[in-house]
Amino acid sequence: MEELHRQVRGPVLLPDEAGFAQEVAGFNLAAVHHPDAVAGVTDAADVVAVMRWAAAHHEPVGVQSTGHGADQPMEGGVLVTTHRMQEIEVDPRRRTARIGAGVRWRRVIDAVAPHGLAVLTGSASDAGAVGYTLGGGLPVLGRIFGFAADHLLGLEVVTPDGRLRHVDARHEPELFALLRGGKGNLGLVTAMTMGLVPLEELYGGGIFYPGTDAQEVLSAFSRWAPTLPERASTSVALRWMPHDPTVPEQLHKRMLVHLRFCWAGPEEEGARVLAPMRAVSRPVLDLVGPMDYRDIDQVHMDATEPGLYVLTGEFLREFDAAAVMTLLQSAGPGSRCPLPEVGIRLMGGAFARTDGVEDAVSGRDAAFFLELIGWLAPHVAAATPPALAEILQAMAPWSTGRAFVNMHGVPGGETEHARAWSEEVYARLVRAKALYDPDNLLRFQHVVGQERRPPGLGQPADSSA
């Protein structure tokens, strides 16, 4: 460890040292890491030093930025924390941004908005930009612009041999393709360059309906959503809303149906498209209107405080009347479902297309995505895993058989992990893993080729850089 201390400019801490617990902590408190050491890297040179040290000493390596994507704790090895890597360089003329490994989406949104540009963030701007994008990235405006990974132009990545590589569609294209949606199996990304999108007008937000009207709202959604033009993105969720000072008081401590909607265009057009859903039921609260992209978090209104979360999901072929009734039986009013959120997101549109560059993103052939968020607080910890399993099993007849790597938190072996990709992509990931990481130093939670893991060198770690 003295050698690592000398080589890394950022802090290197052991479990008995001050600051260790704070350094390893992340947003998801259900995954508490217990590495042998944590290295708070400050730049790419620090990452190179850690990787070379780990390779020389056969130590596994995990990485964490914010911990939003953490759902399995790391045991042993060295955890690399990237939150000190805060570089942002915006080129408004070329519509690109170079983003460091530790940057949260909120900083990027605020940096590009004055130029009339947007980045394809998910439902929570407090999440780390790089890890979200490496898993494909499921943006709020995805039907309009596609997956976040579709807009990746280049990556700076340190592979397990300690080499810093600059990869894009022309330079090491296979590595670049597999990093776009392949998560953290092949290296530690220190920075990424993304294309930005112009966004002049945005109409969006959420409508909350009484939970007692869940059948009417979900049935209407199942008929309405497939008819939408590509400029519309939408999802619907059954939600148990806690007492939360960040949300309106009339939503506190009740079950609600939450319709989320965005239209990239004028208010009058968006309102006309949304009108059929506004007529379904009298809402508790209608928050849809003209909005600035800087307020994009208000569409989903995700939890903003760290907590004991588990997230999983499944891509669906369709969400028809039978699927609606099946979902309501498992998670609707009267089901006693302990999950705080069960959602259905409309796919299709730009999600279904590629930019002509190969990638490892899953879900392009799906019509919908089933999103499950569990809570592992003591009073529901025992009931949550069976509830997740029950809903996934009940919805299996509509599943494509594919999961999404950024929301695939149900523990399992290699067969389960492999469902995050097609058979062809998974085989390519396994081959690349053998090439770039033959000693399996990067044991992330969605590690490929698990049967090659050497014994006694720790467990899978978080990949949310």
CATH number of the domain at 53, please: 3.30.43.10
DSSP helix/strand/coil, 89: strand
DSSP helix/strand/coil, 88: strand
- Asked whether residue 222 falls in the same domain as residue 370, the answer is yes
CATH number of the domain at 375, please: 3.40.462.20
Predicted confidence at residue 32, as pLDDT, reads 86
For 152-177, b/e burial (b = at least 16 CB within 10 A) is: bbbbbbbbbbbebbebebeebeebbb
Q: Which two structure tokens, joined as six digits, stand for 436?
A: 């770039």
Mean pLDDT, to the nearest integer, of 9-33? Answer: 93
Domain assignment present for residue 425? The answer is no
Nearest to 313 by CA among 258, 232, 368: 368
Mean pLDDT, to the nearest integer, of 277-304? Answer: 96
Confidence of residue 241 (pLDDT cuts 50, 70, 90): confident
Nearest to 26 by CA among 83, 103, 99: 83
Mean pLDDT, to the nearest integer, of 161-176? Answer: 97
- Asked whether residue 93 falls in the same domain as residue 175, the answer is yes
- Asked whether residue 222 falls in the same domain as residue 344, the answer is yes
Q: How many domains does the chain have?
A: 3
Domain assignment present for residue 276? The answer is yes
Confidence of residue 413 (pLDDT cuts 50, 70, 90): confident
Does residue 236 carry a pLDDT above 60?
Answer: yes
- Regarding pTM above 0.85, the answer is yes
Alpha carbons 462 and 218: distance in angstroms, whole number: 34
Greatest Cα-to-Cα distance within the chain, rounded to the nearest angstrom: 67
Predicted confidence at residue 39, as pLDDT, reads 98
DSSP string for 145-208 = H--GGGGEEEEEEE-TTS-EEEE-SSSSHHHHHHHTTSTTSS-EEEEEEEE-EE-S--EEEEEE
Helix 321-331 and helix 214-224, axial crossing angle in degrees, nearest 10:
150
Domain assignment present for residue 462? The answer is no
Confidence of residue 429 (pLDDT cuts 50, 70, 90): very high
Alpha carbons 47 and 9: distance in angstroms, whole number: 10
- Asked whether residue 109 falls in the same domain as residue 161, the answer is yes
- Asked whether residue 272 falls in the same domain as residue 215, the answer is yes
- Asked whether residue 46 falls in the same domain as residue 144, the answer is no
- Express each pLDDT in 101-140 by its tens digit: 999 999 999 999 999 999 999 999 999 999 999 999 999 9
Predicted confidence at residue 444, as pLDDT, reads 66
- Asked whether residue 121 falls in the same domain as residue 155, the answer is yes
In order of 73, 74, 149, 261, the CA distances from 445 in angstroms are: 8, 9, 20, 32
**Domain limits for position 350:** 203-398
Angle at alpha carbon of residue 442, lines to 438 and 448, rounded to 5°: 75
